[in-house]
Structure formats: C-alpha cells, structure tokens
Chains A and B, each alone.
Chain A
C-alpha cells in the first residue's frame, strides 16, 4: 500500500512532493523519499498515483 522512489534515477525535480495529496513525500538527506505510513497510493483521492503520473523518468516512482 505504498509507492517508493528509486533515488539513483530521480532528477530531484520535486513535482511529486507537491502533487502528493497525503504529504507523504519529503526531501530527506539529499533525496526525495516516500513515507510508507503516510502513502495511500492516492486511493480515495485520485484515479491514479500522482507521484508516478507526474514523474518525468520512467520506472522511477514505483510500487514499493
């Protein structure tokens, strides 16, 4: 029930952070991370996961 970011591929644009409806994404220690306790996979809020939909790099924001 959570997504994760593959840090080595991430461009750190930060779009996922402000699109996340659950404030689950934070910039921590030089990279963006998703808090699995807060991530809802956007269920009840949006049809598709916002972080994965906005991420510019394929297969970088993926199911954990």
Chain B
C-alpha cells in the first residue's frame, strides 16, 4: 500500500494557511480518479455531495471534518425523563450540557473564532439545551448572521419535532440541509413513559395525550422534510425495559418516511445528573447490548454507529472536543473571518481521502478473500484522518471495527479515561480501560509500552503498535489475514 505524502495530523497543527496551501499543492493524487472514488457504493452522487463533509451524517467524513454547536436556543417545549434542565457542567460530555448560553451575536463571534482556527470545521449545528425549532427566533437570527459571514458552512439543527412542521418551509429557504429529530417511540403508550409533559398550542399536555401530539408532529415533520429533500437523521435513546424492543418499530416507521440515518444511542442516566430516569434507577444499555441491538436493526433504516453523544456546545472532530479552547472570555470582541485554513484543508482532504478510500477497498477485498468464517473485534486509537495515529496512553476513546468475511465495518466506540498522566501510567485506569474493552480481540495504536501491553494480554486482548500510522482498514485486513493463517508474504502492511 502506498503511503501518501501528506499527513493530515501535521497539517491540522500548522499555524498558517500558507503552510496548509503548500501542503495541498505538494504531491500528486495517489489514485487515478481524484475526488470521486471515496463515495460509498450504496450512495448516489447527489446525496454524497450533501454528506461528504458532514461528520455526523457520514462515517467516512467523520475522520476528516469537524462540527461545532452553539447553545443559542435554550427554551424547550417538552420535558424528557432523561434530561435535567438545571444541569451545566464543564467536564461532562453528553447532550444538553453546556458551559455558556450564547446570544446570536456571541454565537457569530464564536463561530468565526473557531472557523479561523479549526481547519476541519464544516458544520454549524444548534443542538440544545432547548429546542432549535421552538426557540426559533434565536435559531434563525444565528443562522442568518453566520451564513452571511461564512456562506459555505453547512447549517444543521436538532429538534424534538414538536414545533418542526411550522418551520420546515423556513428551514428549506434558509438552506438548512441536515435535520436531526429525536424520536423515541411511535406508540404513545411507550411515549408516556418517556415524556412527562409537552407544551403545545399554549397549554401543557400530560400523559398519553401529550405523547400522541408529539408523535403526530414528529411524523408530519419528518415527511415534510423528506418531501423537500432535506436529509434527516433520527436519534433514538435506547432505554432498556422502556423502549428498547420498540425501537425496531421506530426504525421501520422512519425508514418508510424517508429518514436517511437512524442513530440508536444508549440512555445516559447517572444518578448524579439528577434526571428523572437517573434518580429512579433506570439503567442504560452497555456497549455490547447496544451493538447487539444495532445488529438486529441491520436491513432497516441505515444506522449511524459513530455518534459520540456530544455536548451541546462541542467543537471539533467528533472524538476530540475542543470546546474549552473557545469560551467567550478567550475570544476577541472584534474578529474578522479568515477562511484560508479551511479552504486549504479542504484541498488537502479532497486529494488524500481518495487514497484512503482506495486503501480501504483493497483491505476489504483482502478480508473477503480469506475464506474462513469468524470475526475479529479490533479497537483503534486514532486522532483522525483514517489512520492509527494515537498513543495508547493518550487515547480518550477507541474506535471499534469488526472484520469478517463480509468486510470491515465500523461498529462503535468505547470511551476511556486516558491511561497516561504526564508520562506515568496509572494501574487503576488501566483496569477501567480493560473493562471498557470487553469483547475486543486486538488493540491497534501508534505506540504502547510493554507494561500495559502485558496486562492487556493477560486479559485476553492483544495490543500492538506494529501498524502505527497505517490506514485503519489496511492494518485490520493484515491482522485478519494473519490470524486466519493466510500467507504473510502477500501482506503489505
């Protein structure tokens, strides 16, 4: 496998757009059809154009592109049993949590500051706390301001759907190309257990009546978006014993109504978060239960598996939040947009993602040709760009891939506390990481010390840095082929 000349990792650390541009112009396109082969075979080119730089709507794009959320619309029209509106925390990474709420003007300043510094930025979303469609005036004001300054940024919103139908036409006019609706039920009897009340038509509804109105509005909103060609992602919170089995039905309903992606997320319900579910002792599913359920849904609406359940003010690549670098007190009052870094970065990505795609196709073909049943679960430490380029001790998450005769699939991620603290490994942390890696056969990383390697092996997990800086899929195919005893000399990794 030919290694491309440009390393994304070094590019995103550069300080000037000049350096990026030089990198973009250096080197030749490694594949014969620059800019076209990275499109997945199951997607038409119009859809690919819409998702190719949206990290949440495309698993492929999430290796390259970043999003940011601005918390400008805190008012909400429904209460969910997994949400505590009083919660606000700097250290938690989960939906609804923010450190500061912004006015549309403050949001514009923040978006410009991030766009100037984070070359991967491609999407601006409004995703809580609160509902972007209900607190509509602030959502609209923010998008209008940002679109006039940075016309090429993709706009997207997250909504519970209750106030969605009344704004669909405006969403289309404002060129909001991606919408996420949280749909946890299609049966109001299930909805009643998740939503204690809604506020609709100037009054509060409770019980089955509330869930019925919410359900009807969600379905209507989804159908209206599909009619207008706006891509929709459906988020569903998997709540064991409440709606877990029911989500099979939800998947069918949303597929029939044109949903592009279905994202089944685990309920987060620590008692300390103070949510109704948390205090009632309702548990969330573990990583294996979630994956088993997602596997059952294969064949229905296409599943999203790379969601990180990020903060409502997250900034950066999905797995690496940089929000704390861009709080209002760190942003100058006067700021002009400079798109140099973003444009240069896009040029680089357009060139190297084809090389990645070609490597990936070759790897998948290798795996498919090894004629032995069985699958391999591989956890990868990566900083983006589709490569194994993170040290074991620095990883905040591992991306999990499954290699089997059907190919190499991304199946999810496991969050961990980084093992390494200022050069020293912590044994207690390593224990937690081993627990988080339950069911994993191999760990691939850029570097790992002998001591953690040995302890992982004692727990039945083989870790190696032999494939450091290789493309993820290329390394996995080499591992898979080796594990199944094929001829090592054929491997190029």
Contact = CB atoms under 8 A, between A and B. Distances in A.
Contacts, number: 47
A56 B197 CA distance: 10
Interface of B: 74-77, 79, 85-86, 101, 129-130, 134-135, 137, 199, 202-204
A37 B469 CA distance: 68
Nearest to B136: A18
A21 B129 CA distance: 24
B203 A15 contact: no
27 contacts: A9-B86, A11-B74, A11-B86, A12-B74, A13-B74, A13-B75, A13-B76, A13-B129, A13-B135, A14-B74, A14-B75, A14-B135, A15-B75, A15-B130, A15-B134, A18-B135, A19-B199, A19-B202, A47-B203, A53-B203, A53-B204, A54-B75, A54-B77, A54-B204, A56-B76, A56-B85, A57-B85
A48 interface: yes
Contact of A11 (B85, B134, B204): B85
B487 to A, nearest CB: 63
Interface of A: 9, 11-15, 18-19, 46-48, 50, 53-54, 56-57
Given A11-B86, A13-B85, A15-B135, A48 B101 contact: no
Given A13-B76, A14-B135, A54 B85 contact: no
A50 B204 CA distance: 9
Interface of B (DSSP majority class): loop
A50 B199 CA distance: 9
B74 to A, nearest CB: 4
Given A12-B74, A13-B74, A56-B76, A48 B204 contact: yes
Given A11-B74, A13-B130, A15-B75, 4 more contacts: A15-B135, A47-B203, A53-B202, A54-B204
Nearest to A14: B75
A57 B202 contact: no
Contacts of B74: 11-14
B202 A50 contact: yes
Contacts of A12: 74, 101
A34 to B, nearest CB: 16
A29 B377 CA distance: 55
Nearest to A56: B85
A54 B78 CA distance: 9
A42 B202 CA distance: 11
Nearest to A15: B75
Nearest to A16: B75
B199 to A, nearest CB: 5
A48 B85 contact: no
Instruction: Give 4 nearest A-B pairs by CB, closest first.
Output: A15-B75, A13-B74, A56-B85, A53-B204
B203 A48 contact: yes
A57 B86 CA distance: 8
Contacts of B204: 48, 53-54
A56 B203 contact: no
- The interface centre, meaning the residue of A15, A18, A53, A56 with most chain B CB atoms within 10 A of its CB, is A56
Nearest to A10: B86
A15 B202 contact: no
A13 to B, nearest CB: 4
A53 B101 CA distance: 23
Contact of B75 (A18, A48, A50, A57): A18
A19 B137 CA distance: 13
A54 B129 contact: no
A46 B202 CA distance: 7
A11 B203 CA distance: 20
Contacts of A47: 203
B79 A56 contact: yes
B292 to A, nearest CB: 35
